[in-house]
Amino acid sequence: MITLRYHIVSITAVFLALAVGVVLGSTAISGRLLSGLSGEKNTLAQRVSDLENHRNALNAKLGEADEFAAAVGPLAVKDRLTDRTVVIVTTEDARPSDRDAVSGLLKAAGATVTGEVQLTAAFADPSRGDQLRDLVARLQPAGSQLPTAADPGTRAGGLFGTLLLLNPSNNEQQATPEEAAAALAGLSNAGFVKATSGVKPAQLAIVLTGGAAEGDSAADRASTIARFSTQLDRSGAGVVLAGGDGSANGTGAIGVIRADTNATSVLSTVDNADTPAGQAVVVMALREQLEGRSGRYGVAGNAEASAPGAAS
């Protein structure tokens, strides 16, 4: 006779068997799963190690390339700018080491650097644009004419062109030394520039920037520098806008220029001026400006070639 006790014992035995089966099954599955994960981990670790080795090898090659470019750069630009004068304009984020390297190559090319003017962070600050525009109008030398555009970058480019560049048609100064000194002093007192003493006007100019601009007003600041550089180019024999890594993207001044066909038709740009090769290209592009041509050079996707005369 089957009793209630028998039923309870049978049911208990069934659940106990199920429990044992689940435990044994999960243990086997867990073992296989852990084994698989361990193998995948080892594979990924090997891939990471391979990528690190590849990166280190590429960095070593880049280092060797930079050393070679630094060694041959002076030879590549030799006599390209003989008896020419160049003024350097730097933005607040430009690296002093890049400026010094470009200055050295200009001298190797036979050019004379007539001075440097540094644009401060306030120069491209959108919140101070009205102040800069009004100050530019007050500092305009007698007899000169500012561009009709209302934006502060273009207006400032017109003033700086008068102060820093020689008239390309007759190689004469476009402002008296007293007017130039007074204007630069006014801009300096307002916090917009820092100028080296004794800056003299030159035939050519280089505007040297950093990399990609950052922050909420990055696009506006890049646009100010781009418009400034474009207008500056219209005042002399030639201008090159040069920057480092990231300067050719949408938040960099070079990126703004390259998106404007009117600007690229007159202004040359170099997007790798933070490398020895790019610094030599800056000088080559300046020579090209003297010949009435312009180009987009560097390593960014919107560059047309690595250097003047190089295949794209």
- Structural domain spans, the chain: 1-77, 80-297
- Report CA torsion sign: 189, 193, 195, 201: negative
Q: What pLDDT sits at residue 214?
A: 75
Q: CA separation (Å) from 292 to 118, 176, 235, 260, 287?
A: 27, 27, 13, 18, 9
Of the candidates 228, 100, 103, 216, the one whose C-alpha atom is nearest the C-alpha of residue 154 is 228
Long-range contacts of 259-265 (CB under 8 A, 24+ apart): 260/226, 260/230, 263/226, 263/230, 264/294, 264/296, 265/294
Q: CA separation (Å) from 102 to 37, 115, 205, 280, 307?
A: 54, 13, 12, 7, 15
Say what angle helices 152-164 and 177-189 make with each other, to 10 degrees: 140
Options 3.30.70, 2.30.30, 3.40.50, 2.160.20; CATH for 80-297 is 3.40.50
CA distance 235 to 203: 10
Q: What pLDDT sits at residue 59?
A: 54
Q: How many CB atoms lie within 10 A of CB 236?
A: 22
Q: CA separation (Å) from 262 to 104, 227, 242?
A: 31, 11, 18
Per-position pLDDT tens, the chain of length 312: 455 454 454 555 445 544 444 444 545 556 676 777 777 767 767 676 666 665 665 555 556 566 766 788 899 999 999 999 999 999 999 999 999 999 999 999 999 999 999 999 999 999 999 999 999 999 999 888 899 898 999 999 999 999 999 999 999 999 999 999 999 999 999 999 998 888 999 999 999 999 877 777 899 999 999 999 999 999 999 999 999 998 898 789 999 999 999 999 999 999 999 999 999 999 999 999 999 999 999 999 999 999 998 755
Question: pTM of the predicted model, to two decimals?
Answer: 0.81
* Residue pair 86/113 in contact by the 8 Å Cβ criterion: yes
